[in-house]
């Protein structure tokens, strides 16, 4: 529980450290919650006990103990909720970073796909392709390829993909 109160995200260098720490804190809180709930049940039984086993003068102590156990249980629940929120926030940041990377790779693949088609088309080595024997055929393919690259970049910028 001390880790949860001292947790400072900027102190951890490796992103995996964040998840490891959050998982460890969540397990510790579940462990503590596993002890506090039976304790609350026992205190409740002792508090409403009608037998003469426990004198009435101790009732107020059991009431205080019950209130403290309830408060502790509430604090544990709040910490569990906070850890879940931090984990979800961290996961959202990781997902956002991954999405940016995937978008970049998609743009790169989209630019090179038409170039691959052009290279495959002109790499078939057919004899009867008129542009192969044309004196400006090579420059035409280079110009077409550059137009595809710059046209794709312009379109992606216009759509705000890059």
- Given a contact cutoff of 8 angstroms between Cβ atoms, the answer to whether 76 and 32 are in contact is yes
Cβ atoms within 10 Å, residue 79: 19
| pLDDT category of residue 7 using cuts at 50, 70 and 90 | low
Global pTM value: 0.64
Classify residue 160 as left (phi > 0), alpha (psi -120 to 50) or beta: left
pLDDT band for position 59 (50/70/90)? confident
Overall average pLDDT of the 132-157 stretch = 91
State how far the Cα of 1 lies from the Cα of 98, in Å rounded to an integer. Answer: 31
Question: pLDDT > 70: what percent of the chain?
Answer: 91
User: For residue 103, what pLDDT is reported?
Assistant: 92
- The region of weakest confidence among 34-43, 115-124, 130-139 is 130-139
CATH class of 2-158: mainly alpha
The pLDDT of residue 71 is 95
What average pLDDT is seen over the chain? 86
CA-nearest of 121, 122, 105, 113 to 161 is 105
SS3 content of the chain, % helix, strand, coil (to 5): 85, 0, 15
- C-alpha–C-alpha distance, residues 103 and 73, integer Å: 45
**Residue 55: what pLDDT?**
81
Comparing 76 with 46, the larger pLDDT belongs to 76
State the Cα–Cα distance between residues 34 and 158, nearest whole angstrom: 56
- Burial string for 7-31 (b: 16+ CB within 10 Å, else e) reads beeeeeeeeeebeebbeebbebbee
């Amino acid at each position: 529980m001390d880790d949860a109160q001292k947790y400072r995200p900027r102190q951890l260098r490796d992103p995996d450290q964040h998840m490891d720490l959050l998982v460890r804190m969540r397990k510790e809180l579940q462990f503590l919650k596993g002890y506090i709930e039976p304790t609350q049940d026992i205190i409740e039984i002792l508090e409403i006990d009608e037998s003469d086993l426990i004198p009435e003068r101790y009732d107020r102590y059991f009431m205080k103990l019950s209130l403290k156990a309830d408060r502790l249980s509430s604090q544990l629940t709040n910490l569990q909720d906070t850890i879940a929120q931090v984990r979800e926030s961290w996961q959202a940041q990781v997902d956002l970073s991954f999405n940016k990377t995937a978008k970049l790779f998609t743009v790169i693949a989209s630019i090179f796909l038409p170039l691959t088609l052009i290279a495959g088309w002109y790499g078939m080595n057919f004899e009867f392709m008129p542009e192969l024997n044309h004196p400006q055929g090579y420059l035409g393919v280079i110009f077409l390829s550059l137009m595809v690259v710059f046209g794709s970049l312009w379109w992606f910028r216009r759509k705000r993909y890059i």
